[in-house]
């Protein structure tokens, strides 16, 4: 099934699962072949997330394999430079180097419970592909990873790691060869092979994925809330994360959504600025529509067709966004800002020089937004450092 056929099928099917909504956003807009599989997945997930044995096993692997809890590190030199007290949530120190492993461990345990024999996943920056291949190797499952050709070229280290971990690595040349195209390829394989288990990497796609990814990533927010109170004796004034699909961000935000005095900020991949075709700032430039199985914001043309996006960060180079982020934007609970390539590169260098921490170029967007908004504010803040920058060093960004 090609992308246009998939898109047309999505937009003509009404969502049948009202529990999968955040306000008006979310739902399950999929071809009929996938509805039974996703309904079964939703039912199993609702059972498992309230099962003490499942949660105990999930946290065992987070603690003993991933290396959680990840530190909340006071970035003293960055704080002095900015003029605010800034803590970094060190997801970059997780096994595999990013937050993605939290979700892949959770979902592969669901897959194991459901008797899955084959795992599939999409990847943009490669971190989700690495994390999925890692979890599949640990549990002895067959694994296929789909990646756009453009992303495979600009994230060669992660492409190699995926192969080294024993996964079948499949590149697609459709479209711009980026994350959207990898998702399309993975979804089409899933439609044709519904007995496989799709570990979706971000809080996007049809229900139950946005809720399921949020649940497994909420460990970030839970830990951060506890850690900041332990270290500072109070909640932060603000929190920051980068947003592509939005999994690391919703993981952090989930711990503070009920705290009205905690301001929430997210940095989107602004690319070359607010120009259609040269940006990936979906919540700044997009509009609500059905895209890849969910109703959320998407960057589209006047006819409602998704258009090509661009960001230096492969993990942010995506025209859609998770439905909960769409809800938080409309509810004015979170603010979403455009951070350009150049701003992200400057913060990539800045954090490396000031703290000896090389961030992923995706995470550098969050750092850039924090530096911009916290300058001389004497505020207490947390930045989610969603991944480390090993994968970006050979791109010679400086």
82-112 confidence digits (pLDDT tens): 999 999 999 999 999 999 999 999 999 999 9
- What is the C-alpha to C-alpha distance for residues 327 and 203, in angstroms, rounded to an integer? 13
Residue 11 to residue 96: CA distance in whole angstroms: 36
- pLDDT for res 18: 65
CA separation for the pair 244, 127 (Å, rounded): 13
Query: Is there a contact between 297 and 282 (Cβ–Cβ < 8 Å)?
Result: yes
At 396, the pLDDT band (50, 70, 90 cuts) reads confident
Q: What is the dihedral of CA 336, 342, 344, 348, to 10 degrees?
A: -170
Cis link prior to 208 (omega < 30° from 0)? yes
DSSP H or E stretch at residue 171: strand 168-172
The token pair at 49 is 């997330």
Tell me the CB-side half-sphere exposure of residue 220, using CA atoms within 13 A.
35
Distance CA 196, CA 341 (A): 37
- Cα 23 from Cα 38, distance rounded (Å): 21
Check residue 395 and give its pLDDT. Answer: 82
Nearest Cα neighbor of 118 from 179, 194, 5 is 194
Q: What phi and psi values does residue 138 have, to the nearest 5 degrees?
A: -65, -35
Consecutive H or E run containing 147 = strand 142-148
For residue 148, give the DSSP letter.
Answer: E
The token pair at 118 is: 């084959």
| Residues with catalytic function | 100, 122, 386
Give the strand pairing for 263-271 and 334-340: parallel
E-only strand ranges, 203-362 = 238-243, 263-271, 287-291, 294-298, 334-340
CA angle, corner 250, sides to 133 and 279, nearest 5? 85
Model pLDDT, residue 19? 82
pLDDT band at residue 397, thresholds of 50, 70 and 90? confident
234: left (phi over 0), alpha (psi -120 to 50) or beta: beta
The predicted structure's pLDDT at residue 189: 96
pLDDT of residue 9: 32
- Reported as a pLDDT band with limits 50, 70 and 90, residue 394 is confident
CA angle 320, 129, 72 (to 5 degrees): 80
Helix count (H) and strand count (E) of the chain? 16, 14
Q: Which helix (H) or strand (E) holds 179?
A: helix 179-192
Q: Quick one: tokens of 357?
A: 């921490």
DSSP of 59-84, one letter per residue?
A: HHHIIIII-PSPPEEE-HHHHHHHTS
Residues 219-250 have pLDDT tens digits of 999 999 999 999 999 999 999 999 999 999 99
- The enclosing H or E element of 143 equals strand 142-148
Q: Which residues is 142 bridged to in the sheet?
A: 118
Q: How many C-alpha atoms does 259 have within 13 Å on its Cβ side?
A: 17
What's the pTM value of the predicted model, to 2 decimals? 0.94
- Report residue 17's pLDDT band, with 50, 70 and 90 as the boundaries: very low
Buried b (16+ CB within 10 A) or exposed e, 230-246: eeeeebbbbbbbbbbbb
Distance CA 209, CA 42 (A): 8
- Domains of the chain and CATH, by start: 22-58+100-210 (3.40.50.1100), 66-98+218-393 (3.40.50.1100)
Mean pLDDT of 294-311: 96
Phi-psi region of 140 (alpha: psi -120 to 50; beta: other; left: phi over 0): left
For a pLDDT cut of 70, what percent of the chain falls above it? 95
pLDDT of 3: 38
Query: Residue 382: enclosing H or E segment and its boundaries?
Result: strand 380-385
- Is the distance from CB of 253 to CB of 328 less than 8 angstroms? yes
């Amino acid at each position: 099934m090609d992308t246009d056929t998939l898109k047309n099928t999505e937009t003509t099917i009404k969502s049948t699962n009202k529990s999968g909504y955040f306000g008006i956003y979310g739902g399950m807009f999929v071809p009929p072949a996938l509805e039974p599989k996703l309904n079964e997945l939703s039912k199993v997930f609702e059972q498992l997330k309230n099962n003490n044995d499942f949660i105990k096993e999930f946290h065992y692997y987070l603690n003993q394999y991933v290396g959680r809890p990840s530190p909340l590190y006071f970035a003293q030199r960055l704080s002095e430079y900015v003029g605010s007290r800034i803590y970094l949530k060190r997801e970059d120190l997780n096994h595999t180097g990013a937050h993605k492993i939290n979700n892949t461990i959770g979902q592969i345990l669901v897959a194991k419970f459901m008797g899955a024999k084959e795992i599939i996943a999409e990847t943009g920056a490669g971190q989700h592909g690495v994390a999925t291949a890692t979890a599949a190797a640990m549990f002895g499952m067959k694994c296929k990873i789909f990646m756009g050709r453009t992303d495979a070229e600009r994230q060669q280290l992660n492409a190699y790691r995926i192969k080294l971990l024993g996964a079948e690595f499949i590149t697609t040349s459709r479209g711009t060869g980026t994350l959207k195209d990898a998702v399309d390829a993975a979804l089409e394989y899933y439609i044709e092979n519904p007995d496989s288990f799709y570990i979706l990497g971000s809080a996007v796609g049809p229900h139950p994925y946005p809720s399921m990814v949020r649940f497994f990533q909420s460990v970030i927010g839970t830990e951060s809330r506890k850690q900041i109170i332990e270290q500072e004796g109070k909640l932060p004034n603000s929190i920051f994360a980068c947003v592509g699909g939005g999994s690391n961000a919703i993981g952090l935000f989930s711990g503070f959504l009920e705290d009205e005095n905690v301001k929430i900020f997210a940095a989107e991949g602004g690319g070359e600025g607010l120009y259609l075709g040269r940006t990936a700032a979906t919540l700044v430039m997009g509009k609500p529509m059905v895209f890849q199985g969910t109703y959320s914001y998407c960057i589209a043309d006047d006819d409602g067709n998704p258009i090509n996006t661009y960001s230096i960060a492969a993990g942010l180079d995506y025209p859609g966004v998770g439905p909960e982020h769409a809800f938080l934007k409309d509810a004015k609970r979170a603010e979403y800002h455009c951070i350009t390539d150049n701003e992200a590169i400057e913060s990539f260098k800045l954090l490396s020089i000031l703290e000896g921490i090389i961030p992923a170029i995706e995470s550098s967007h969050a750092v850039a937004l924090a530096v911009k908004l916290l300058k001389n504010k004497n505020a207490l803040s947390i930045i989610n450092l969603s991944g480390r920058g090993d994968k970006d060093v050979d791109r010679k960004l400086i």
